[in-house]
Amino acid sequence: MMPANSAAVLWRRVDRPGHESTRLSAFEEGWELVGTSVFAHEGEPCCLSYRIACDREWRTRSVEVDGWLGTEAVRVKARVEGESLWRAGGVEDAGIAGCVDVDLNFSPSTNLLPIRRLNLQVGEEKDVRAAWLRFPSFRFEPLEQSYRRISLDRYQYRSAGGRFEAELDVDENGFVTRYPGFAEVVPR
């Protein structure tokens, strides 16, 4: 089945109280992932809205995160210039230079980006380097990751040199439907 040009999903957090919804849309220039995550963190309410733009090959071009954690405002903006120069808050971030994908630490949504970009066949595995937006520091770090397609609807995900590993169930659009210990799709 071919992925849709637009799709939306609602997740329930399983690690803490909260929900998230995101929508994927196709544009002439590429793809846009827009969503909002609302959850509790250490007794404080957190609301984070994000917008990620990708080119037609699923390479991240820009990311914005706005919202709050408790009473503190959150605002993150980053753009990719050329093939690999990242500017976070308008300043070049050499630490994440060369990263192709963005990974929002607080969201299961961004696993979709390398899943769609890599378009792996069952049994194939690829390594990626993502610009990982840490939560709750909201600072970017490079994160080495690998995706191995186990079946049509399951991937083995590894990061941090294998220190983290999870089997992710996905739908036909590439959205994670079950991320063990983190989030699962709310059935329609």
The tens-digit pLDDT sequence of the chain (188 residues) is 446 689 999 999 999 999 999 999 999 899 999 999 999 999 999 999 999 999 999 999 999 999 999 999 999 999 999 888 999 999 999 999 999 999 999 999 999 999 999 999 999 999 999 999 999 999 999 999 999 999 999 999 999 888 999 999 999 999 999 999 999 999 88
Calculate the alpha carbon distances from 85 to 61, 66, 81, 108 in Å: 10, 22, 5, 25
Distance of alpha carbon 178 from alpha carbon 49, whole angstroms: 21
Query: Is 85 within a domain?
Result: yes
Relative to beta strand 18-26, strand 30-41 is antiparallel
Query: Is 1 within a domain?
Result: no
Q: How many CB atoms lie within 10 A of CB 42?
A: 9
Q: Report how many domains make up the chain.
A: 1
Query: Is 81 within a domain?
Result: yes
Query: Is 25 within a domain?
Result: yes
Query: Is 150 within a domain?
Result: yes
pTM of the complete model: 0.95
Query: Is 179 within a domain?
Result: yes
Its domain, for residue 132, covers: 6-185
